[in-house]
Every structure is written in C-alpha cells, then in structure tokens.
C-alpha cells in the first residue's frame, strides 16, 4: 500500500439506512460446482439467481440524530443457506432496531442479525422461512477484466422485486476508503449500475455464481461501482456463522483507528495510524516492546491509516516472516518485530 486508498465519497449505503438452529456448512452449500462454464445468457443467470435475492427493510437510529429518532432504509441481500441465512452489508444493519426481509415470492418475514463485521462490511441475517433457494457462492476468483457480470438488487425499494443491471469487470483488487474511516480491500470494480438499495445484493458471473457483494459507488465518477470479492469474503463467512464475528488473532493489544477525537483524547503527536490500547506485556504485542498509547504507523513499510490497513497487511496471504511495525512511542520512534506464523496458523 504505497499510497492511501482513494476516498469513497458515497457508498451504496448512502442508499439505505446508515441506518439454536444448525449452522450451515458453506463448503457444501456454496462450493464451486464442477463444470461450471460461463456460458449462460443474462436472462438465464437472472432466472437462476433472482429467487435467492432478498430485500432488507430496516428501522433504526441513524447517526447524528437523537436516540429517540428513527429512520427507515432499504438494501438487498443474498440467501446463502436453505436454513435461512442471508449475507448482506454491515452498514445496512448497523444500529437498526428491527428489520424485515422481503423474499422473491413477495413474502415478508422478520429477520435478526446474527453476525457482522464492520471492517469487511459484511453481515449475516437469519430468518425463519421454508422453501428458500440458496445461491451458489464462488470460492475462487476466476474473473477476467472485461468479462460480463450481472448485478441484482432492489434499488430504492421499488415494488415488484429485484432489478437487474449488466456490465463488465472493469478492474480487480481495488481498495477504497469508506465513510467509517476504514479501508475496504479486495474489491471488484464494475460498470454495472449500482443504485440506492443495491447494496448487499449479489454480483454474478455468467455461470450463475455469486462472485461479489455490491457495496459502493463512486458518485464523483460515472459507471464506477464496487463489490466485495466473494473469494476474499468466503473464508470469513463460516467464522461469522459459528462465532458471530470474524476471527482475528489476539496479538495482546487492541488496535484502534486514530481519528481527530482520538488525537485529542490521548494528546497524540501523530494524526494517522492505529493506537495500541490495553497492551498485555505477557503476550506478543507486549513482548515485542509495545506499550499502551503507542501508535503503529506502518507494517513492513506499508503505511497504516486504520484497522483495515493493519489487518490486511499483517494477515496477508503467503506472508510468514515476522512483521516489522513502525511505532511512535512515548520516547520516540522505534521498530517492533511481531511474529506472524502462530497467528496465521490459528486463523486457518
């Protein structure tokens, strides 16, 4: 990350509200099917996937409004298991008081959030319903720049069910800065139109498999939309279903994204990076020389602006060597060496 990810001025969540059963085994439900060739027509893709797309209607407490105020919002989601689990965006359900899921057949049913992760902007909703049609999730990114993809969702909560837009893969492995101050990684860029309410809905290839979850648009440009890559999200979904959260290793400290309020509260001399708090001297972070109040500004010479940056670099695939942390401590800058291997093994 040589430079900070470009700021995403308006997410597709500007679209919506900023507003014990057996746990499915996604390796069985969502695995890539053999002989899945990308030869379906767009109408055939829509016919295959549209029954799995849902509308999510929410009521909650938006930011910057009094606690007693409520607002309604809408977004989309995709059924990932016949038992009633639905994948969507975290920003659609964060702070909500209640939500209702609209199925493709017109039925409305209450839902509840069972897992969410604000760094990945993913959430899982559970509903009690029968005859659900789960979508096929792609576990490996076989996309090529220029190939056709289909976005399905319910923009503006229009009556009559989900809408369809078609585009191409414009770029892969994009990263953007979200309004919550965290960086979203592993994004698919497409020119398929994403509008208010599409957030949380699927991006599908011509085999009918979900390759991404629509998340954002760039309003300052035309035909630039983003989807969370299913290849990147897939390994975390089972953890969310089992644990209610994404597994991240215990490094012996809590990383906190530095914001202006954090700078003021802790009287910091730096205005970017992550603040290490509650450092345990008996664990890896403390043994590496970190103390509560230290600021990590880079990992392996990659500048760090937020928690998303930190975890993305620390847990990057294929990297086993100890991480070199550039730290600004109370007595000046220093380098802390933090081992990766034990934590990567635990995450697998």
**Total Cβ atoms within 10 A of residue 33:** 11
Of 52, 199, 207, 229, which residue is the catalytic one? Answer: 199
* Whether the Cβ atoms of residue 210 and residue 137 lie closer than 8 Å to each other: yes
What's the burial of 94, exposed, middle or buried (CB within 10 Å: 0-12/13-18/19+)? buried
Structure tokens that stand for 180 in this block = 């919550």
Separation in Å, CA 268 to CA 224, 225, 289, 294: 37, 36, 19, 9
- Tell me how far apart the terminal alpha carbons of the chain are, to the nearest angstrom: 24
Q: What is the DSSP string of 93-158?
A: HTTEEEEEEE-TTS-EEEEEEEEEETTTTEEEEEE--SS--PPPBPSS----TT-EEEEEE-GGG-
Is 199 annotated in the active site? yes
Provide the β-strand partners of residue 205. none
Torsion-angle region of 267 (φ positive above 0: left; ψ -120 to 50: alpha; else: beta): left
- Which one from 91, 117, 186, 207 is the annotated catalytic residue? 91
Catalytically annotated residue among 52, 81, 117, 121: 121
Residues 6+ apart with CB under 8 A from 281: 252, 287
State the catalytic residues: 91, 121, 199
């Amino acid at each position: 990350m040589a430079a900070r990810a470009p700021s995403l001025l308006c997410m597709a969540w500007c679209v919506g509200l900023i507003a014990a059963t057996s746990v499915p085994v996604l390796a069985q439900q969502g695995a890539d099917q053999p002989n899945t060739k990308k030869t379906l027509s767009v109408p055939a893709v829509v016919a295959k996937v549209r029954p799995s797309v849902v509308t999510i209607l929410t009521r909650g407490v938006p930011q910057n409004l009094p606690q007693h105020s409520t607002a309604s919002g809408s977004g989309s989601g995709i059924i990932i298991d016949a038992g009633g689990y639905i994948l969507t965006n975290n920003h659609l359900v964060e702070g909500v008081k209640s939500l209702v899921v609209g199925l493709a057949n017109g039925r409305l049913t209450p839902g509840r959030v069972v897992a969410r992760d604000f760094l990945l902007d993913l959430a899982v909703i559970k509903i009690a319903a029968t005859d659900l049609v789960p979508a096929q999730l792609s576990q490996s990114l076989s996309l090529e720049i220029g190939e056709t993809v289909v976005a399905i969702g319910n923009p503006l909560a229009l009556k009559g069910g989900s809408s369809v837009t078609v585009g191409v893969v414009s770029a892969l492995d994009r990263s953007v800065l979200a309004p919550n101050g965290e960086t979203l990684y592993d994004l698919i860029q497409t020119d398929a139109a994403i509008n208010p309410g599409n957030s949380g809905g699927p991006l599908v290839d011509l085999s009918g498999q979900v390759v991404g979850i629509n998340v954002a648009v760039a309003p300052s440009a035309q035909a630039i939309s983003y989807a969370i890559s299913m290849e990147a999200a897939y390994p975390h979904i089972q953890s969310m279903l089992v644990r209610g959260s994404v597994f991240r290793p215990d490094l012996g400290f809590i990383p906190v994204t530095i914001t202006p309020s954090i700078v003021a509260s802790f009287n910091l001399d730096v205005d970017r990076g992550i603040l290490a708090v509650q450092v345990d001297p008996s664990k890896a972070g403390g043994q590496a020389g970190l103390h509560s109040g230290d600021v990590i500004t880079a990992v392996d010479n990659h500048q760090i602006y937020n928690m998303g940056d930190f975890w993305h670099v620390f847990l990057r695939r294929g990297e086993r060597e100890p991480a070199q942390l550039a730290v600004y401590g109370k007595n000046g800058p220093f380098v802390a060496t933090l081992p990766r291997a034990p934590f990567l093994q635990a995450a697998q």
